[in-house]
Amino acid sequence: MAPKTILLKGDPLLKQAKATAVAITPGYLLQIDSVAGQVEAHSTSGGNAAKLFAMENSWVGGEIGTAYAVSAEVMYVSARPGDEIYAMLADDENVVRGDYLESDGDGALRKVVQIDAADSAAILINPASVVGVALEAVDLSATANTTDARIKIEIV
């Protein structure tokens, strides 16, 4: 059975702020807008990321599938290492348990891209981009799905 909440385990800091000009779905990785201090979906693929995740608005009966409207007050958490989150995974991803995850640039997560520098051991492109590790396998490759879906992750 799929979880009905974004925070699965842990004790993150609960916060709230207005959404910017785009609707926000619970489970999105967020960033703080640099001008107005509002929150928006994290917008840099593989970029540095604070572990901020939009929560469902349970105060007014919102569920994890209910997006926040533009300029609405968004409930979100600043997750800590060990917290478990039911995050959004980007379309076309194929993730197995233990894969590291980073921003896909639209609020969803993707598998961390690694490089092999001159046949040496693989290294991370940007360690500050890693927000969590997959706790389950989810296959959203082109033959399996066509939209973002959710994945259980542990914050690192």
What angle is formed at CA 134 by the lines to CA 115 and CA 83, rounded to 5 degrees?
Answer: 120
* The pLDDT of residue 126: 77
In a domain, residue 138? The reply is: yes
What's the CA gap between 31 and 53, in Å, rounded? 9
Does 30 reside within a domain? yes
Above 80 in pLDDT, residue 61?
no
pLDDT at 92 over 60: yes
Instruction: Tell me if 107 sits within 8 A of 30, measured CB to CB.
Output: yes
With cut-offs at 50, 70 and 90, classify the pLDDT of residue 145.
low
Q: How many domains does the chain have?
A: 1
pLDDT at 1: 77
Residue 1 belongs to a domain: no
Residue 14 domain-assigned (yes or no): yes
Q: Has residue 2 been placed in a domain?
A: no
For position 34, what pLDDT does the model report?
83
Domain assignment present for 68? yes
pLDDT of residue 35: 79
Residue 134 lies in a domain: yes
Residue 80 lies inside a defined structural domain of this protein: yes
Query: Can you give the pLDDT at residue 117?
Result: 57
Residue 113 vs residue 42, higher pLDDT: 42
Question: 118 pLDDT exceeds 80?
Answer: no
Domain that holds residue 70: 7-155
Average pLDDT, the chain: 90
